[in-house]
Structure 1
Amino acid sequence: MTAVQIDHRAGKTSINGNTALTQGTVVDLTVLSDVDDQVIIEALQLSTTLSGGSARLQFTATTPGTFPIRLRDRGTELATLKIT
């Protein structure tokens, strides 16, 4: 399992963990933020509610490509997953 933590507070984003993954990797994605929103990886049809300061998604990286991780309502791109 690969853990990735994205911290988006006060308009700044930092990433702890590797966002370049190989197919078959199980991903444990945590997003910390000072805003409520929806975290989405649209092309992979993944989403979760970000409320109370955090959100968590667990999934298996099965589709190769480059996929933005965004806050839906704000339209903010937090990071990009690259699956090979």
Structure 2
Amino acid sequence: MWDALDDSLRSGLHALDALHVVVLRPDTGRPVARADGDHAIALDVLRDLPVSLADPRYDAGRRTELSVYVASAPLRTVGS
């Protein structure tokens, strides 16, 4: 399952015609410092994304700037 998430994110981000990409993992309910189980694995996948995006075997000569945000509290949108 986690390899599939990694492959999907990496291939999807490489397929985008964008120089800048933001990935947001909304309310995880736990602080990143105390991550365990599935949450820790998901964070590892997100941590590895910049490395795989920078790999010249996959970047097709084009670099993508990546920002990853992990929210540990509920996100509020404007007007809510």
- Say whether the fold is shared (TM-score over 0.5): no
- Structure label with greater radius of gyration: 2
- Kindly indicate whether structure 1 or structure 2 has the higher relative contact order, using CA contacts under 8 Å at least 6 residues apart: 2
When the two structures are superposed, what TM-score results if normalisation uses the length of structure 2?
Answer: 0.26
Higher helix fraction (1 or 2)? 2
